[in-house]
A = this chain, B = another copy of it.
Amino acid sequence: MDGVPAGLEISEDEVQRMLDLRRSSREPHSTARMESDRVEIQSGIYRGRTTGAPLLLAIPNEDVDSSPYEGPPVPRPGHADYTAWIKYGGYNDPRGGGRFSGRLTAAMAAAGAVALKLLRVVLGADVIAYTREIGGIRARDGLTLEEIAGRYADPLRCPDADASRRMLEAVEEARRAGDSLGGIVEAVALGLPPGLGEPLVDTLDGDLAKAMFAIPAVKGVEFGAGFRVAGMRGSEDNDQYRVEGGRITTLTNNSGGILGGISDGMPITFRVAFKPVSSIHRAQRSVRLDIMEEVELTVKGRHDVCVVPRAVPVVEAVAGIVLVDHALRAGAIPAVLR
- Residues of chain A at the chain B interface (Cβ within 8 Å): 6-7, 46, 49-54, 75, 77-80, 82-84, 86-89, 91-93, 95, 98-100, 104, 133-136, 174, 177, 179-184, 194-195, 197, 199-201, 203, 205-207, 209-214, 216, 218-227, 229-243, 246, 248, 250-251, 254-256, 258-265, 271, 273-280, 282, 284-287, 289, 292-294, 330-331, 334-338
Q: Are A330 and B336 in contact (CB under 8 A)?
A: no
Contact B242 A294 (CB under 8 A): yes
Contact B223 A220 (CB under 8 A): yes
A272 to chain B, nearest CB (A): 10
In the bound complex, what is the Cα–Cα distance between A79 and B104 (angstroms)?
38
Closest residue of chain B to A132 (Cβ to Cβ) is B230
- Complex Cα distance A213/B100, Å? 25
Asked whether, in the complex, the Cβ of A86 is within 8 Å of the Cβ of B195, the reply is yes
- Chain B residue contacts of A174, Cβ below 8 A: 233
> Are A235 and B280 closer than 8 Å at their CB atoms?
yes
Query: How many copies make up the complex?
Result: 4
Cβ-neighbour of A284 out of B214, B240, B260, B276 (below 8 A): B240
Residues of B with C-beta under 8 A to A211: 206
Residues of B within 8 A of A92 (CB): 6, 46, 51-53
Interchain nearest-CB distance for A159 vs B (Å): 17
Instruction: Decide: B84 and A200 in contact? CB cutoff 8 A.
Output: no
Complex Cα–Cα for A229 and B277 (A): 10
Q: How distant is A251 from chain B, measured CB to nearest CB, in Å?
A: 7
Contact B213 A209 (CB under 8 A): yes
Whether A46 contacts B91 in the complex (CB less than 8 A), given A99-B199, A227-B227, comes out as yes
Report, nearest first, the 6 A-B pairs whose CB atoms are least far apart: A80-B260, A220-B222, A180-B234, A136-B231, A206-B213, A89-B336
**For the complex, what is the distance from the CA of A213 to the CA of B198, rounded to whole Å?**
12
A199 nearest CB neighbor, chain B only: B99
B210 touches A136 (CB 8 A): no
CB closest residue in chain B, given A203: B213
**Inter-subunit contact A248/B287 (CB<8 Å):** yes
Q: Which of B79, B133, B222 contacts A260 (CB 8 A)?
A: B79
Would you call A6 and B235 a contact (CB within 8 A)? no
* A226-B273 contact given A53-B93, A78-B234, A80-B262, CB 8 Å threshold: yes
User: What's the Cα separation between A228 and B280 when bound, in Å?
Assistant: 19
A272 to B218, CA, bound (A): 15
Smallest CB–CB gap between A300 and chain B, Å?
A: 15
- In the bound complex, residues from chain B placing their C-beta under 8 Å from that of A135 are 230-231, 233
